[in-house]
Structure 1
């Protein structure tokens, strides 16, 4: 028999007895529930189950006899999945084996635990995506099945042979989705109607022809110089930026929707800023740090797309500008330079509005210039010990083992600068003026997979991924119209599309 929980109730105990009333922790026991899953018993806080599991919430509110029982027997679940659920509800981020994945999906479906479904989505990778997709479709966990299908679509060429072992309906759904496209935009100042700069473009990589093409032109009043650039819900956001060397800040934000090939405006943060980090996460944009009047700031603001308003969040531990950042398993991480060869990695936890110190990298010349994530790994790119500033070295931090590993070799120069790296599936895309390089990520080495045309423009570059409907890719000469519509539909309604596909199964 396995017991989960800090308190254990023996089968012969009686909480109403006078002796038990003197025991420490009795109050907690009175609000606990024994849950039997096959031969395992778990002692769980009732409030935890009520808050997070639709099944238990409905049970406890039903008035049926079961809601008064001290022990509930779940006959159709596996203990592995229930353990994973409790770990997730306790704030852990476990990586899972195949058996754990199957039972966790079963648990998420039966008990209706959104937090567990969200965790499963966050850990989809090339090793488990097919299992996640097929199992989630079988149990009707539509959000997870759709997210897994999108991941598979992005790696379709690598997974194609295995994909076709799936039922035909599942294969057809994957093939109906739009893959992610590697995108780039250079640093540009605002233009004017009379002196339009037709080089002010957002471009995409045509991987079939191995060349860069224009997707859309920037609105004339948009600046990408020292701006915050991020993608959220498949829409491109450009916030802040400066007019010129005077560093006068643009006081309007811009949003590009590829579904309609349209631009719209949004409010700027309450504190005008430039040279800051912009991150899109779960329906919100986060403007982190930056500068104003040539002074670094520690303030952070959050923009909720649902209500179109900015509000202040917890400040950074110290003022900082141009921070390297990454999202690993849908968790937000940043690099803070401490000096003397040390870089702190902090995580922002939106649910608690807290910055937490995760680890410190101590290396000679360890200033973090760029950070990307793959699975549960953070890769920090930094200056290498050489005279060529385009070359860099990497260190890998594993979030599960909490260990650093120095990556062998140096990267950059003719193979593309890693200071603008973007991860898609098991690949990393990098670029410079001469070449665009795709690397394959292996355990502790990145191997060159292919090289394509360079992004032949000067200045700082922002790179990101978006899903582009074929109809939204305009001709080279098409200019983008600026609209005031700030509520255009999302590119993909995952639940609707998934249900259309899987209702046949």
Structure 2
């Protein structure tokens, strides 16, 4: 059989409404449970020249094919509605995940209601949580939804702003003196920092890497003492059961590295070992509990600025002189790809956070001024950079603790917790409460904390 004949056998025609699409059969089988079930059944439809799909609009199917082919289209409200219907009908996993990535304050109510109508449960729950996180801004609009939908949102708990200071490991004898070795969260109603849990004695947050994946906190690496002996073990905190578990450490012991989680995997990026800066990257599968090496960074780096946007991993690397390079990690190809370059006089990106499809690169001000940071925004959809006007106060490294929730950015230091609202090309100060009373570096993140907990105020 000729190659061209084999290729033709893999082409299938699908009629949706008045439109006919020629597409790859293996693509449909890989993306849609509907087509997998159809071809497993041996029904007469799968032997016909065309497969007819009724009661769907062609635009939704076209969007599904685009996402299946690796595109990430930004959708308007009408396209979202048709895409949700299509994702639910065909049980299209990639399209459902893409819709989750598109959630924002402008479309979350639409996604929540429409996903409930068509039974797209993953998107429904993620939309509900997103709305709960932005309840202050959306509560009036929420009242316009059916009562059962509004009540479901109100039954959820918002993601809390959580912080932990920099602590080395602790012995039994030192434990009574280690009262500050606690993970704490901000009670926004009382405007107080409260204790969530104590760190395990064997855990170090000094030059460690912390991240949250699937509402679990991971503490990996770190050092013992002033001679910077690496901590071999890793730790996982389950906020629902209020328990810590011990996990294996990376194959290459490291500290001062970056940890980020996506799709049931943790990525330990760069860092130091034996006072040598590394480019190596390791991936931890939370299901198999195994570490494996991934593609290394283009060059060695410690404490690299890294963030997640639309389920994609980005890092900001420095390259003398005065060059900031944005790289994206492509998991299915295991490679780092240069996305864009930013040139700024005497200034490098030290922190990076994401909001929607925007990357905010926070960099030092003129002449290495870290008290007046500058900020640039890179849009991963359009590929355009925007310089944000003015300076941003960075007293004691507050901006380097930035965490995004909804349309808000939380920053933190010992003297104050500041909430900004992201609006247009600015971060506008919105609210200020008491700071986090810990010395040294501070790690911040978001966790959904169950309602039934005994509260302990931080002193």
TM bucket normalised to smaller: over 0.9
Q: Which has the higher contact order (CA 8 A, sep 6+)?
A: 1
- 1:437 equivalent to 2:418? Answer yes
Runs of 4+ with deviation above 3 angstroms: 24-30, 413-416
* 2:385 matched residue in structure 1: 404
**Map 1:236-255 → 2, pairs under 5 A:** 236-255=217-236
Greater shift in the superposed pair: 420-429 or 343-352: 343-352
* 1:384 matched residue in structure 2: 365
Contact 1:347 1:356 survives alignment (8 Å): yes
SS, match of residue 73 in structure 2: coil
Equivalents in 2 of 1:251, 1:306: separation in Å? 20
When residues 379 and 413 of structure 1 are mapped into structure 2, their CA distance, relative to the original with a 3 A threshold, is closer
State the 1:351 CA deviation. 2.1
RMSD: 1.9
Equivalents in 2 of 1:155, 1:290: separation in Å? 35
State the 1:167 CA deviation. 0.8
Q: 2:150 aligns with which of 146, 171, 187?
A: 171
State the 1:40 CA deviation. 2.1
Where structure 1 has 5 or more consecutive residues not aligned to the other structure, the ranges are 1-15, 479-505
Contact 2:417 2:435 survives alignment (8 Å): yes
Equivalents in 2 of 1:255, 1:318: separation in Å? 29
Contact 2:192 2:457 survives alignment (8 Å): no
State the 1:276 CA deviation. 0.5
- 1:417 equivalent to 2:359? Answer no
Where structure 2 has 5 or more consecutive residues not aligned to the other structure, the ranges are none
Equivalents in 2 of 1:235, 1:54: separation in Å? 30
**Map 1:255-274 → 2, pairs under 5 A:** 255-274=236-255
State the 1:403 CA deviation. 0.5
Q: 1:332 aligns with which of 313, 325, 334?
A: 313
* 1:143 matched residue in structure 2: 122
* 2:135 matched residue in structure 1: 156
| 1:302-327 C-alpha deviation (Å, 9 max, x unpaired) | 11111211111111111111011111
Greater shift in the superposed pair: 281-290 or 63-72: 63-72
Equivalents in 1 of 2:314, 2:353: separation in Å? 10
* 1:355 matched residue in structure 2: 336
| 1:181-217 C-alpha deviation (Å, 9 max, x unpaired) | 0011111111221122111111111111222222222
State the 1:413 CA deviation. 3.8
Equivalents in 2 of 1:166, 1:415: separation in Å? 44
Equivalents in 2 of 1:42, 1:245: separation in Å? 65
Equivalents in 1 of 2:396, 2:377: separation in Å? 20
Equivalents in 2 of 1:415, 1:290: separation in Å? 23
- 1:364 equivalent to 2:345? Answer yes
Equivalents in 2 of 1:278, 1:335: separation in Å? 14
SS, match of residue 214 in structure 1: strand
Q: 1:301 aligns with which of 282, 305, 308?
A: 282
When residues 71 and 41 of structure 1 are mapped into structure 2, their CA distance, relative to the original with a 3 A threshold, is same
State the 1:468 CA deviation. 0.7
**Map 1:36-47 → 2, pairs under 5 A:** 36-47=15-26
- 1:234 equivalent to 2:187? Answer no
Give the TM-score, by structure 1 length. 0.87
Equivalents in 2 of 1:163, 1:178: separation in Å? 16
* 2:174 matched residue in structure 1: 195
Contact 1:365 1:382 survives alignment (8 Å): no
* 2:432 matched residue in structure 1: 451
State the 1:393 CA deviation. 0.6
* 2:191 matched residue in structure 1: 210
Greater shift in the superposed pair: 406-415 or 441-450: 406-415
Give the TM-score, by structure 2 length. 0.96
Equivalents in 1 of 2:322, 2:342: separation in Å? 8
| 1:422-446 C-alpha deviation (Å, 9 max, x unpaired) | 0000000001221111000012111
Contact 1:390 1:417 survives alignment (8 Å): no
Contact 1:61 1:67 survives alignment (8 Å): no
* 1:49 matched residue in structure 2: 28
Equivalents in 1 of 2:278, 2:115: separation in Å? 44
Equivalents in 2 of 1:357, 1:477: separation in Å? 43
Equivalents in 2 of 1:210, 1:416: separation in Å? 21
**Map 1:26-175 → 2, pairs under 5 A:** 27-175=6-154
May I ask how many residue pairs the two structures share in their alignment? 457
When residues 397 and 212 of structure 1 are mapped into structure 2, their CA distance, relative to the original with a 3 A threshold, is same
